[in-house]
């Protein structure tokens, strides 16, 4: 009896297309004699997003729950998700419904014990890769981020500003004399008023 297959594809950005994934998976289905029940695609959606933010993935899991398919064919493990916890629960959920998984680039078929073991290992590597990528992005941001705003005013300049303001010098004239911003002098004046109250 031919396996009822759902083909699931996903790309992370709108600039990418699922067409190549779909074409390859269609060819595999034809070679294996599978019956394609549906082709589902999440386009421009990160694998880190949950089920509620991935409509095609949500539809796929509904089909699994209703036992409408026997096998899910997907391009790669990272098309399904990025977190180990999510992937392990995904595998548990589909196995509980007797639905197998075929991953094209890994040449993986979970209808075999070796395939299930390999899937678990791939899940670990997928999460590890994502963690490394995130660390690299965060390190790059930390290197490129400069301290926002103006540098803080040194105590000596603030003291001079207070003396000028005490002597009746206007905010604008004080700012000009000390070569600092009008807003900075205004803040000093406000603090002085509050302290005097």
CATH number of the domain that residue 135 is part of: 3.40.50.1390
Residue 25 pLDDT > 80: yes
- For 175-194, how does the pLDDT look when each residue is reduced to its tens digit (9 = 90+)? 999 999 888 998 898 888 88
Tell me the average pLDDT across 4-33: 90
Domain boundary among 116, 143, 170: 143
Closest CA to 130 of 90, 78, 85, 88: 78
Same domain, 163 and 117: no
Contact (Cβ atoms closer than 8 angstroms) between residue 90 and residue 80: yes
What is the per-residue pLDDT for 133? 78
Domain that holds residue 69: 4-143
Same domain, 90 and 167: no
- Helical (H) or strand (E) element with 100: strand 100-103
- Round to whole Å and give the CA distance between 175 and 109: 73
- For 143-164, how does the pLDDT look when each residue is reduced to its tens digit (9 = 90+)? 776 555 566 788 889 899 999 9
Domain boundary among 123, 143, 163: 143
What is the per-residue pLDDT for 148? 55
Tell me the average pLDDT across 90-109: 86
Same domain, 94 and 161: no
Same domain, 135 and 177: no
- Round to whole Å and give the CA distance between 35 and 38: 9
Same domain, 100 and 14: yes
Same domain, 72 and 138: yes
């Amino acid at each position: 009896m031919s396996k009822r297959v759902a083909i699931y594809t996903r790309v992370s950005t709108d600039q990418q297309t699922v067409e190549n994934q779909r074409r390859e998976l269609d060819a595999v289905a034809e070679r294996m004699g599978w019956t394609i029940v549906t082709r589902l695609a999440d386009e421009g959606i990160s694998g880190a997003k949950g089920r509620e933010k991935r409509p095609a993935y949500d539809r796929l899991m509904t089909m699994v729950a209703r036992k409408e398919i026997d096998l899910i064919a997907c391009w790669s493990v990272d098309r399904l998700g990025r977190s180990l916890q999510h992937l392990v629960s995904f595998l548990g959920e589909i196995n509980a419904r007797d639905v197998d998984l075929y991953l094209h680039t890994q040449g993986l078929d979970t209808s075999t014990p070796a395939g299930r073991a390999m899937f678990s290992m791939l899940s670990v590597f997928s999460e590890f890769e994502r963690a490394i990528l995130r660390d690299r992005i965060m390190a790059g941001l930390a290197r490129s981020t400069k301290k926002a705003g103006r540098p803080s005013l040194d105590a000596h300049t603030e003291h001079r500003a207070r003396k000028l303001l005490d002597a009746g010098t206007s905010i604008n004239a004080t700012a000009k004399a000390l070569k600092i911003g009008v807003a900075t002098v205004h803040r000093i004046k406000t603090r002085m008023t509050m302290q005097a109250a």
